Each structure stands twice: as structure tokens, then as C-alpha cells.
């Protein structure tokens, strides 16, 4: 599956020059004294300050790309150099601790092999940008095995309550596919990663220790915190088809919101593509989906990003055989049952309100957590000209977008979530501001220009 990166490369210009050390300030770290570097200029085209911006550089735009993980060191020449670690820190961290730096600050990054062929596909890191700023970074090439990357995202999959379930997360929010097509949302009270604990220890998301947070959304028959659908009936715009609800399932007499047999009905497969430290990705395959009005298969890649309350999703239909010519793609979120906050314009929708969070297995209703608000949002890239559509099915109300298929048979969208018990957006108003800012950033990725390669002699 071809992955759409979050960074637009508008120019690549590479020359080879030689300069003396006196003419340039080259980065060093302990005994690491590189002699080769590449210049990267990033530009923020928006007149707003941007924090923790995802930057993904595709391998095919590098003139030199035959290197390993330890061969890459990204440096902000204006960043504050780290001091030599204390003896206590060295004793705890060991050899791979970052040593004393000069002429800049190393930025953490990851080389991601997205197609799992053993060769990296994207170089990923995050950065901050001032309004309309252009900044220069350097990619130093040379062996450097120092630097513990703190994990602020994770992806995990395991047997959870007798079925295989993926879970991906930032330190603020997690998303899991208890139901194979529609997202459960997990809120954190303090920044932390918990997917490994939930999956490995089969911890009930409603009954974990208080500081770990909680599941904050019921999904059942709804789209939950995000899900996909198809609009196959041009005469009834609000009628939708979904992989979990098929004629085969109905015929089999299934009463709970899942499919019938894996051979006779829709089936699903999950792969952990990337597991941190700065972003984590899960691939979801939906196979053998017979809606009664067409046959479909598709792949989705969900990605969580450090210090963000959103996950992005890239969708590609690998089989698309509708009976009706005017079949539309769709995606969306559940309407909040106690909605007091609502925003909808163009390609954005936000819904939120107070929530009484309760374990559905607590039939006596003893364990209830009342919170001021839980909010979710959905953004579809405007390139796809999404059309807003309210949809009701199986007694659930949902906000969705219709997307006309193009020749690539795919589209991209983003879903976000927050709650009053966690951070950093503790009110509906703050969360909506975050979503509107995120929408601008989603539509306007940083622009990058590759400059010269320098070799120091």
C-alpha cells in the first residue's frame, strides 16, 4: 500500500562541496565528530506558531539513502547543546546516553520500514516552527549509537478478552479496535503509555487504576471515535453500509454488533507497522466485505503522534466493485449522546458534552464516573471535497462525510479526542480551538528543501 506522507517535498537540490572546519560550525557529541552532512530547510507557510509538527521525509527523495539507523543524526544548529551527563545518570543509563554536545542539539527521530521489506521508507521527526519561519536543520551521516529515545507513542496488539485487538496511542489518548472497524477511545489522566498493560494483562479499560485513565466512549453499533462506511444508495443519502453489518450477518441471526463467520462474512487482519518512539502505526485490512450491493476490500493505516490528541488514517480500497455507479466512500464519528458542544463547517465536525462513564458489565450501576466533558472530532482533507452527512443506524446517531471515489480509490482523514479528566485540553472550547488549528496544519504540511551535502576535510 502506498503511504501518503505528512510532508510535502517541493524542491531537491544537491551539490557536493568541501569546506574547512574553520568555515563551518560542525556538530559534535562526545567522540562523535561527523564529516558529512546534508542541509534541510523547513518552511512554515502558516502565520501561526506550530508545536510538535510531524515531519516525514520519504527515502526516495534522498540522493544518498543507503544507511542504517545509527548512521543518522538530525541536529538543530540553534538548539541548546546538552551538557555531559552526571555520573549518576551514566550509571543508570549506560553507554548509550547522550554525551556533551557542541554546535547544536540532536533531535530524536526514527527510520520507519513501513512495508516491512527490511529497508527504511521514511525518516520521521518532530519540530517547532514560528509563524512563517524557515529554519535550517542538518542531517549528519556517520555512526553514532548514542541517545535513548523516550517513547511517547506506542502500538500494541494482543489477545484481549478472547479476541485479537490492536491498540495505538500517544501519551494523551489511545485508540483501540475492540470492534474491528470503529474506534474505542481511551483517555489518560496523566501522560503515559498503557497499551502494553491492557493487552498483556487483559485489564478492563473501565476498571484500571485511577491514574491510568479510562475508556471514555461506548461504541456498540455506532462509529465510535472514528470509522468507515459506504454510501451505496444515491436515492437515500443518509443510508450507509458498514463492514460489521452485512446481509450475511443478518441472515445468520447475529444479535450483537459483530460479524458472522470469518469465511462467510467480513474478516479483518491487523499488523503493527511502527512502534514508536515518536509515532506508531497500525495497519488494518478489511477483507471479504459483501454489502449486498457490492464487494469490497480495503487497507487502513492509523497513526498516533507524540504530544498530539489525534490519529490520522490513510485508506486504500484494494477491491472496489459496487453495483451502483454512484457509490461514495464515507467516514465519521458518533454524535455525543449528551451533546452540548457542536461545530460543523466544511470538512470539520466536533461533538462533545458531559459523560457518565460506566463499565457495561457493571449491571448494578455502581461504578459510574461523571466527567464534565468528552469530545471527539473528525477532519477529512478538503482535497477530497467531503460532503457532511448525518447518519442514523442501529439506534445510533453519527456525523459523517461522503467522499466521491477518485482513480486512486483512497482518502485520508483525522480523528481527535479529549476529556476533562486529562490534558492538555480540559474544556470543550479549548478542544475545539485545538481541532481548528490542527485542521489548518493538516491541510498545510511543512515544506522542505534539500540543500547541499557537505564533506569536511
Q: How far is CA 382 from CA 106, 145, 159, 334, in A?
A: 35, 42, 37, 21
- Rounded Cα distance between 421 and 388, Å, is 30
Q: Taking every pair of C-alpha atoms in the chain, what is the biggest distance, in angstroms?
A: 78
Cα–Cα distance measured from residue 332 to residue 400, given in angstroms and rounded to the nearest whole number: 4
Confidence at residue 365, expressed as pLDDT on a 0 to 100 scale: 55
Rounded Cα gap, residues 185 and 369, in angstroms: 15
Query: What is the DSSP-derived secondary structure letter of residue 306?
Result: T
Q: What is the pLDDT of residue 8?
A: 42
pTM over 0.85: yes
- What string of pLDDT tens digits covers the 457 residues of the chain? 444 444 443 333 433 333 334 346 999 999 999 999 999 999 999 999 999 999 999 998 888 888 999 999 999 999 999 999 999 988 888 889 999 999 999 999 999 999 999 999 999 999 999 999 999 999 999 999 998 888 999 999 999 888 899 999 999 999 999 999 999 999 999 999 999 988 888 888 888 888 899 999 989 999 999 999 999 999 999 999 999 999 999 999 998 889 999 999 999 999 999 999 999 999 999 999 999 999 999 999 999 999 999 999 999 999 999 999 999 999 999 999 999 999 999 999 999 999 887 776 665 655 678 899 999 999 999 999 999 999 998 889 999 999 999 999 999 999 999 999 998 999 999 999 999 999 999 999 999 998 888 998 8
Q: How far apart are CA 313 and CA 300, in angstroms?
A: 6
Amino acid at each position: 500500500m502506498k503511504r501518503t506522507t505528512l510532508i510535502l517535498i517541493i524542491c531537491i537540490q544537491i551539490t557536493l562541496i568541501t569546506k574547512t572546519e574553520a568555515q563551518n560550525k560542525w556538530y559534535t557529541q562526545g567522540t562523535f565528530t561527523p564529516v558529512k552532512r546534508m542541509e534541510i530547510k523547513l518552511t512554515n507557510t502558516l502565520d501561526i506558531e506550530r508545536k510538535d509538527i510531524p515531519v516525514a521525509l520519504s527515502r526516495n527523495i534522498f540522493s544518498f539513502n543507503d544507511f542504517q539507523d545509527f548512521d543518522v543524526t538530525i541536529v538543530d544548529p540553534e538548539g541548546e547543546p546538552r551538557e555531559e551527563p552526571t555520573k549518576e545518570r551514566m550509571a543508570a543509563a549506560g553507554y548509550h546516553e547522550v554525551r556533551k554536545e557542541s554546535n547544536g542539539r540532536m533531535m530524536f527521530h526514527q527510520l520507519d520500514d513501513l512495508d516491512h521489506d527490511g529497508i527504511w521508507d521514511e525518516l520521521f521527526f518532530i519540530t517547532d516552527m514560528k509563524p512563517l519561519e524557515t529554519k535550517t536543520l542538518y542531517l549528519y551521516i556517520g555512526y553514532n549509537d548514542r541517545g535513548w529515545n523516550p517513547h511517547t507513542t506506542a502500538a500494541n496488539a494482543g489477545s484481549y478478552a478472547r479476541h485479537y485487538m490492536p491498540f495505538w496511542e500517544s501519551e494523551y489518548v489511545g485508540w483501540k479496535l475492540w470492534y474491528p472497524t470503529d474506534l474505542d477511545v481511551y483517555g489518560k489522566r496523566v501522560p503515559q503509555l498503557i497499551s502494553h498493560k491492557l493487552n498483556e494483562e487483559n485489564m478492563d479499560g473501565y476498571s484500571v487504576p485511577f491514574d491510568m485513565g479510562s475508556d471514555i466512549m461506548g461504541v456498540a453499533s455506532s462509529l465510535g471515535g472514528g470509522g468507515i462506511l459506504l454510501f451505496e444508495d444515491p436515492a437515500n443519502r443518509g443510508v450507509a453500509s458498514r463492514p460489521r453489518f452485512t446481509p450475511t450477518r443478518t441472515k445468520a441471526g447475529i444479535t450483537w454488533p459483530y460479524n458472522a463467520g470469518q469465511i462467510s462474512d467480513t474478516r479483518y487482519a491487523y499488523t503493527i507497522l511502527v512502534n514508536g518512539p515518536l509515532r506508531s502505526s497500525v495497519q488494518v485490512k478489511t477483507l471479504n466485505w459483501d454489502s449486498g450491493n457490492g464487494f469490497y476490500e480495503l487497507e487502513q493505516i492509523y497513526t498516533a503522534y507524540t504530544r498530539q490528541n489525534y490519529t490520522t488514517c490513510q485508506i486504500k480500497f484494494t477491491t472496489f466493485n459496487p453495483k451502483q455507479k454512484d457509490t461514495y466512500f464515507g467516514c465519521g464519528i458518533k454524535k455525543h449522546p449528551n451533546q452540548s458542544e457542536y461545530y460543523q463547517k466544511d470538512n470539520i465536525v466536533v461533538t462533545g458534552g458531559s459523560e457518565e462513564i460506566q463499565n457495561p458489565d457493571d449491571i448494578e450501576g455502581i461504578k459510574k464516573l461523571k466527567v464534565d466533558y468528552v469530545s471527539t472530532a473528525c477532519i477529512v482533507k478538503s482535497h477530497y471535497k467531503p460532503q457532511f452527512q448525518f447518519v442514523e443506524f442501529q439506534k445510533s446517531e453519527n456525523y459523517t462525510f461522503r467522499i466521491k471515489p477518485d482513480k486512486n480509490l483512497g482518502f485520508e482523514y483525522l480523528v481527535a479526542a479529549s476529556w476533562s479528566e486529562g490534558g492538555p485540553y480540559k474544556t470543550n472550547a479549548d478542544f475545539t480551538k485545538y481541532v481548528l488549528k490542527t485542521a489548518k496544519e493538516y491541510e498545510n504540511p511543512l515544506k522542505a528543501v534539500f540543500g547541499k551535502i557537505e564533506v569536511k576535510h
